[in-house]
Amino acid sequence: MPTKPSRELQTFPNPRPGRPFVIAMDCPEFTCVCPMTGQPDFATIRIRYVPAERCVELKSLKLYLWSFRDEGTFHEAVTNRICDDLVAAIAPRWIEVVGDFAVRGGIHTAVTVRHGERPADV
């Protein structure tokens, strides 16, 4: 059975909820579609978060990010949506999502979205 894109983010219990630590993930193959031209937009999505009670499962994150491949969306909107969906799924202590988009029309775009307060000790 082939794998298909999905908007469902699966989670699992944080194995050390009493210890603040940073989880860092990079997806250098993110693709969405420019809503103005219909052309593909390519980006690296960087996610850094300090989990509370839940962590995001990586295969579901991959399928979630893949689900944007054919969606027309602005860089700012998709980066905020990824952050909002992760916050809804895992309620982290702190999260940062960076959409680092490839140059289009001579302009490089990087969108940074944060939620919560990063603990001082991580």
Ranges of each domain in the chain: 11-116
- The residue among 97, 121, 114, 116 whose CA lies nearest residue 18 is 121
CA gap 15, 10 in Å, rounded: 15
Specify whether 34 is catalytic. Answer: yes
**Which of the following is catalytic: 41, 55, 83, 100?**
41
- The residue among 66, 84, 70 whose CA lies nearest residue 30 is 66
**Which of the following is catalytic: 27, 34, 84, 85?**
34
Specify whether 55 is catalytic. Answer: no
Phi-psi group of 83: left, alpha or beta (phi > 0 → left; psi -120 to 50 → alpha; rest → beta): alpha
Measured in residues, the chain has a length of 122
Check whether domain 11-116 has CATH 3.30.1130.10, yes or no? yes
Digitized pLDDT (tens) for each residue of the chain, 122 residues in all: 568 999 999 999 999 999 999 999 999 999 999 999 999 999 999 999 999 999 999 999 999 999 999 999 999 999 999 999 999 999 999 999 999 999 988 999 999 999 999 988 88
